[in-house]
Amino acid sequence: MTKHTLKSFSPSCERNKQPILEQLKIYFKDSKQVLEIGSGTGQHAVFFAKNLPHLIWNTSDMPDYHGSIQAWIDDEKLSNLVAPIAFHFGKNDWPMLDVDAVFTANTTHIMQRDDAKLMMETIAANLKSGGVFCQYGPMNVNGEYTSEGNREFDQQLQQNAYGGIRDIEELIEWAPDMELTKKILMPANNFLLVWARK
């Protein structure tokens, strides 16, 4: 039992944090300050900030999630982890932060199509020259699901009024100012996409 009733826990975050970290060690090694979009429970933020001490890790999400994120932050007391800011595409302006890296996990398929498109456009417009954007989650390839499990997951998402799994080609079209430099196959039929400002 944790001392924080606000502290939420995601089993999928627990499963995927180590494989994601191994990639972030490579692609964020020269970065200084990261904005995490959709920090969710806060688990990823504390794990990555602890294991990437050269980075300032900025958390963000809709206010409903701030309690859990802050509870995780309060427990860890890391000097490179920043309290959550309210950020939702289409509602809030791009944060006034000097970030050279952006990270998001398991957000793109939750967002409605127009919000996912706006996310790609907004990051492309605000990513610094030489900056990097790492995007994790299930993706389709050339209009096809990468597994039967992803097909079933996508049906569940849409039945629950979420936007659904996006195609990598679609994301590329939405972000002409960014270049997809790496497409890394991850466990459980997920990808880590690594984008750079053109």
Query: What percentage of the chain has pLDDT greater than the value 70?
Result: 97
What contacts 24+ positions apart, CB below 8 Å, involve 165-168?
A: 165/109, 165/138, 165/139, 165/140, 166/108, 166/109, 166/113, 166/116, 166/139, 166/140, 167/139, 167/140, 167/141, 167/142, 167/143, 168/139, 168/140, 168/141, 168/193
Contacts of 170 by beta carbon, 8 Å cutoff, 6+ apart: none
Q: Is the pLDDT of residue 1 over 80?
A: no
| The pairing of beta strand 190-197 with beta strand 81-86 | unpaired
User: What pLDDT shows up at residue 191?
Assistant: 98
What is d(CA 107, CA 116) in angstroms, rounded to the nearest whole number?
A: 8
| Helices within the chain (DSSP H only) | 11-27, 43-51, 66-76, 113-126, 148-159, 168-174
Mean pLDDT, the chain, as a whole number? Answer: 95
Q: For 11-197, which CATH superfamily applies?
A: Vaccinia Virus protein VP39 (3.40.50.150)
pLDDT one-digit tens code per residue, 146-168: 999 999 999 999 999 999 999 99
101: which 2 tokens? 């890296």
In one letter, which amino acid is 120?
M
| Residue 3 pLDDT level (bands cut at 50, 70, 90) | very low
Torsion angle, alpha carbons of 161, 166, 171, 173, to 10: -90
Mean predicted confidence (pLDDT) in 99-124: 97
CA 191 to chain centre: 12
Nearest to residue 4, comparing CAs of 91, 90, 67?
67
